[in-house]
Amino acid sequence: MIRIRRAAGALALATASLALTAWVPAPVEIDAVFVDRVPEGYQKSKEPPAACAVNVVEVADLRRAKDTIGVVAGRSVKAPADTTAWLTSIMGGLNARGLAVVSDPARAQGANDITVRVGLKSVWLTAVSTNKAANVVLHIRAELAGRPPIDADYRGSLTNVNWASTKDELKNLTNAAFAEALNAIAPDLRRLCETPLQAPG
Amino acid sequence: MVAHVIAKLMGPRESRLWGIVSMRKALLSGLAAALMVVSMPASAGTPKNILLETARPVPDAREVHVYVGQEEIAAEINPSQVSMVTGGGLLGALIDIQIQAERAKKAEAAIQPIRTALQGFDVDALAEASARSAIEKMPWFQPGEMTFSRDTSASGRIAVLDAARTSQVALITFVYDVSPDFSAIRVLMAVEFAPRDTPQGKSATWRLTNGIVYRQSVTSVVQLVRPATDINYNAGVWAENGGARARRALTLAFAKVAELAPRATLITQADAKAMNSKPHKAVVVAGFAGRQQDSDDGGTLLFNGGYVHIQTLEEQA
Report the range of poorest mean pLDDT among A60-64, A184-188, B84-88, B162-166: B84-88
**Boundaries of domain holding A187:** 25-194
Q: What is the pLDDT of residue A201?
A: 55
Q: Is the pLDDT of residue A21 over 60?
A: no
Query: What mean pLDDT comes out for the span A191-196?
Result: 88
What digits encode the pLDDT tens for the residues B265-307?
999 999 999 999 989 999 999 999 999 998 778 899 999 999 9
- Residue A201 located in a structural domain: no
User: pLDDT digits over A34-54, tens only?
Assistant: 998 776 666 555 566 778 999
**Which pLDDT value is given to residue B18?**
38
Is A4 among the domain residues?
A: no
Q: What is the pLDDT of residue A160?
A: 92
pLDDT higher than threshold 50 for residue A192: yes
At B88, phi and psi to the nearest 5? 90, -165
pLDDT in tens, B128-161: 999 999 999 999 999 999 999 999 999 999 999 9
Residue B10 has pLDDT above 60, yes or no: no
Whether residue A200 is contained in a domain is answered as no
Q: How far is CA B285 from CA B19, B264, B300, in A?
A: 25, 20, 8
Crossing angle of helices B90-117 and B231-265, in 10° steps, is: 90
Using alpha carbons, select from B162, B228, B232, B241 the residue that is nearest to residue B195.
B162
The predicted pLDDT at position B7 comes to 39
Q: Which residues of B touch A22 (CB under 8 A)?
A: 203-206
pLDDT of A199 reads 66
Q: What is the pLDDT of residue A4?
A: 34
Helix axes B23-39, A2-21, angle to 10 degrees: 90
For the cut 50, the answer to whether the pLDDT of residue B16 exceeds it is no
- Which one is predicted more confidently, A90 or A37? A90
Q: Quick one: pLDDT at residue B317?
A: 65
The predicted model gives B75-84 an average pLDDT of: 87
Domain boundaries, chain B: 12-312
pLDDT exceeds 80 at position B242: yes
How far is Cα A67 from Cα A73, in angstroms, rounded to an integer? 18
Q: How many domains does chain A fold into?
A: 1
- Whether A150 is in a domain gets the answer yes
**Are B31 and A7 a contacting pair at CB < 8 A?**
yes
What pLDDT sits at residue B146? Answer: 97
pLDDT, residue A106, reads 79
Is residue A122 situated within a structural domain?
Answer: yes
Name the residue with higher pLDDT: B68 or B46. Answer: B68
Q: Render pLDDT for B83-127 as a digit per residue (tens, 0 to 9).
A: 888 887 888 888 888 888 899 999 999 999 999 999 999 999 999
- Residue B28 pLDDT more than 50? no
Q: Write the pLDDT tens digit of every residue in B203-233.
A: 999 999 999 999 999 999 999 999 999 999 9
Helix (H, G, I), strand (E, B) or coil at A68: strand
Give me the pLDDT at residue B21, please: 39
Contacts 24+ apart (CB under 8 A), A35-43: A35/A171, A35/A172, A35/A175, A36/A93, A36/A96, A36/A175, A36/A179, A36/A182, A37/A172, A37/A175, A37/A176, A37/A179, A38/A93, A38/A96, A38/A97, A38/A179, A39/A179, A39/A183, A42/A96, A42/A97, A42/A98, A42/A186
Contact list in B for residue A68 (CB cut-off 8 A) is 69, 149-151, 156
Average pLDDT, chain B: 87
Count other Cβ atoms within 10 Å, centred on residue B144.
Answer: 18
In this prediction, residues A48-74 reach a mean pLDDT of 92
| Res. B194: pLDDT tops 60 | yes
Q: Say whether pLDDT at B29 is over 60.
A: no
Q: Rounded mean pLDDT of A87-116?
A: 89
Q: CATH number, domain at A183? A: 3.30.160.150
Considering CB atoms only, which of B15, B28, B104 is closest to A74? B15
Of B4, B7, B205, the CB nearest to A22: B205
C-alpha closest to that of A52 among A179, A183, A182, A197: A197
Q: Closest approach of chain B CAs to the CA of A57, in angstroms?
A: 24
Do residue B21 and residue A64 have CB atoms under 8 angstroms apart? no
Residue A142 · residue A192 · CB < 8 Å: yes
Instruction: Give a yes or no: residue A12 inside a domain.
Output: no
- Residues in A closer than 8 angstroms to B107, CB to CB, are 128
CA distances to A159, B63, B76, B110, B182 from B106, in Å: 9, 40, 11, 6, 12
A18 is a domain residue: no
- Looking at the domain assignment, is residue A81 inside a domain? yes
Chain A residues whose beta carbon lies within 8 Å of the beta carbon of residue B15: 73-74, 127
More confident of the two residues A18 and A99: A99
More confidently predicted of B164 and B99: B164
